[in-house]
Amino acid sequence: MSQPVRETRPPAQPTVFVMYGATGDLARRLVLPAFFELARQGLLPEQWRLVGTSRGDEDTAWFRDHVREALEEFGPQPGEGPWEDFSARLSYAGGGFSADDAGSLPARVAEARDAVGADAQLVHYLAVPPGAALGITRAIEAHGLAEGCRIVYEKPYGTDLASFEELDAEVQRVFDESQVFRIDHFLAFEAVRNLVGARFANTLLGAVWNREHVEQVQIDIAETLDVAQRADFYDATGAFLDMIVTHLFQLAATVAMETPADLSADAVRAARDAALADFRAVDPAEVVLGQFEGYRDIDGVADDSSTDTLAAVRLWVDSERWRGVPFLLRSGKKMAADEQRITLLLRRPEGPLTELPERPSALSFSLLEGGRIEVALIVKALGVGEELTTGTAALPLPSLPGTDAPPYVKLIHDVLTGDRALFTGVEGLRNAWQAIEPFQQARPEVLPYAEGTWGPDAVEELAAPRQWFLR
């Protein structure tokens, strides 16, 4: 398998970024800090500008203060990098942006292009709710900002199959597919990228990556936090649409994909999309939805809300490699721990050892704190006896050579260099929406669960006859 050489230097072409939803929660927590980290690491072009835009009427001075406050809250701290130079390259276009009214955005983009050069690459970044993406796409075309640009769409790309098809038809009409980057930042976690690297670089792992050796695949994205400042968005979306059909489906496809011809962007994305095509339609009877007690007391949440703050799914992948192996997906708020983990539970071997520990052998990839690969093995306990126990060996990824690249840092850099390997493919997204149609037509009842737990009791039943690795 050939391995492509990926660019790690800053691109030479001057670039103007336009960030839609620049004052929103996603931009504040993740995207703006990633831009500053790119500046700290010297990975932005020598000539660049960032134009923020939103519906408010604020000015550039206010926006620079807003970005500084975001960095002070979420890091890196302004004093840890070139803040004065960075902030001087920021500007703001208020008043909204639509096909009928461009507001001040075209003027701010023209000013930015004048500052960095007429040949500047234009990159549109849509850090907006899914309902806003269609209108912004049409506005970009209407005001002459589509030709030769690159455009980044945040997840979810649509909210069901019909809205996905409507949005994508317009995207395909306005842009060439090579211009489009559909983001799912979980694909860029170091541990997820190492899941691919370790599998294909080590025969020890590659040999067990199939139904003969793996009994279950479990993917957990658990948070102890509530919905924080995202109440309006979250109450209209829920855990299943926010996490399962987006992030966790993409992680499941990364585990399930067949060996690509090489590790080029097109080959990797095609392998992931092919795995999504093998997802069996989700049976509503194999879905558990939950809502933590007290959710309806949050400002912005309806008193009678039936929104799911937890979703768990037993998914089946009908490929020769994985047929009969359940993929258990779970994500929720106000759970027992903050965890992001992909685990392959290994089958119990046939042989003379019959009294094995309850906790099985496993290969586990933790996404948190820079990532960690863990191997849990059943071994003999110390002492004169022959009792068996389960022990774990861990490899913290930050201990490896190199400089850590948080997901959004990696993905924005890939947009600059044109590398689409870690971005979702349109056919894969279509397959994902098709797989959940039966669920959307017959959603199960939302069950209550106590804060600080792993969800309703029915979640445990999905893993039977085994148990969740996280419990």
Looking at residue 244, the DSSP 8-state letter turns out to be I
Annotated binding residue at 143?
A: no
CB 21 within 8 A of CB 132: yes
For residue 339, which of 468, 163, 183 has the smallest C-alpha distance? 468
Backbone conformation region of residue 311, classed left if phi is above 0, alpha if psi is from -120 to 50, else beta: beta
Q: Known binder of ligand: residue 324?
A: no
Rounded distance, CA 424 to CA 269, Å? 7
The answer on whether 22 is annotated among ligand-binding residues is: yes
55 is in an annotated binding site: yes
The DSSP call for residue 279 is B
Q: How far is CA 451 from CA 288, 291, 293, 454, 459, in A?
A: 16, 9, 7, 9, 15
Is 28 assigned a ligand-binding role in the annotation?
yes
The response to whether 155 counts as a known ligand-binding position is yes
Q: 242 labelled as ligand-binding?
A: yes
* DSSP structure class, residue 290: E
223 is in an annotated binding site: yes
| Longest CA span, the chain | 81
Per DSSP, helices labelled H in 368-443 are 407-417, 426-435, 437-441
CB 329 within 8 A of CB 244: yes
Cβ atoms of 34 and 409 within 8 Å: the answer is yes
**Alpha-carbon distance 431 to 427, whole Å?**
6
Residue 408: which of 242, 151, 188 has the closest Cα? 188
328, 463 contact by CB (below 8 A) = yes
* Residues linked to residue 365 through DSSP beta bridges, in sequence order: 342, 373
* Residue 310 to residue 312: CA distance in whole angstroms: 7
Amino acid sitting at position 193? R
Q: For residue 31, which phi and psi values (nearest 5 degrees)? A: -80, -50
* Phi, psi (degrees; rounded to nearest 5) at 110: -60, -40
Active-site residue, selected from the candidate residues 66, 124, 247, 413: 247
Contact between residue 182 and residue 150 where contact means Cβ atoms under 8 Å apart: no
247 in active site: yes
333 assigned binding-site residue: yes
- Whole-angstrom distance, CA of residue 29 vs CA of residue 74: 6
**Residue 428 annotated as binding site:** no
Binding residues for NADP(+): 21-28, 55, 155
Binding residues: 21-28, 55, 155, 185, 223, 242, 333
| Residues catalogued as catalytic | 247
Binding residues for substrate: 185, 223, 242, 333
